[in-house]
Amino acid sequence: MKLVKRCLGLVCIMILGVPALSGAFDIQLTQEQMKEANEYGGKYKGKDIFDSPVVKPACFGEYPKGGGGLIMSKYIKIAVSSAMKAMKDQSLTSEDLKEMTESVTFNVVVSVPEEGIQSPEDVQIILKQGMNVILPEKNAFGMKYKDKRQGIIGAFRYDKINPGANTAIVVKTKKSEETYKIDFSDVK
């Protein structure tokens, strides 16, 4: 009986405790966190946000200057969106914030060479956690870069990932395949 209780306790810790202990990004943001992220973006206007201490760890590869990408948790999405708006002397509206915080998905934005990319489906973004392969709910075009690169946005459900697990992001096009190791605990 003691063994059963001990095993049950370990299973509960593994299931419930790992995401909490890992320091991984928050799925539910408080009003204070939303305000903090919004102000943070206003402080690092435009592309400066990508070199900031909070957003830089969410970048992988050579993003935004080259290949790679960005993990857009709710906090990061608010900060980046706020930074881009601040560059134009604008700010996020309460509707913008509400839409971002109510989402059940997070985005993985990747930058790939535009050659041969006719639709978002021409790029596969896959998350691998051990034997678990996680596909996005949908892909969409992101921004087009000056250096003949195309942004692709993959929307992944929060409930499909284990934020404490070792994760690889695989980006496949017709001409190439890149794999990036990421740690969700680095992403705010």
Q: Give tens-digit pLDDT for 73-97.
A: 999 999 999 999 999 999 999 999 9
What's the one-letter identity of residue 89?
D
In sequence order, what are the beta bridge partners of 150? 112, 144
Average pLDDT of 28-57?
A: 94
User: Does 128 fall in a domain?
Assistant: yes
Domain count, the chain: 1
- The CATH number of residue 61's host domain is 2.60.40.10
**Buried-state track 2-16, b at ≥16 Cβ within 10 A, e below 16:** eeeeeeeeeeeeeee
Q: Which two tokens stand for residue 27?
A: 């799925």
User: Does 103 fall in a domain?
Assistant: yes
CA atoms of 86 and 120, how far apart (whole Å):
28
Q: pLDDT for 175-187, tens place per residue? A: 899 999 999 989 9
pLDDT of residue 36: 95
Q: pLDDT for 120-152, tens place per residue? A: 999 999 999 999 999 999 999 999 888 899 999
Domain containing 142 equals 29-186
Q: What are phi and psi of 9, to 5 degrees?
A: -60, -45
Band of pLDDT at residue 16, cut at 50, 70 and 90: very low
CA atoms of 163 and 19, how far apart (whole Å):
6
pLDDT of residue 11: 41
pLDDT of residue 18: 37
C-beta separation of 154 from 110 below 8 A: yes
CA atoms of 165 and 113, how far apart (whole Å):
29
User: Does 3 fall in a domain?
Assistant: no
pLDDT of residue 26: 77
User: Does 156 fall in a domain?
Assistant: yes
Query: In the predicted model, is pLDDT for residue 62 greater than 60?
Result: yes
Quote the mean pLDDT of the chain: 87
pLDDT of residue 119: 92
Residue 114: helix, strand or coil by DSSP?
Answer: coil
pLDDT of residue 24: 57
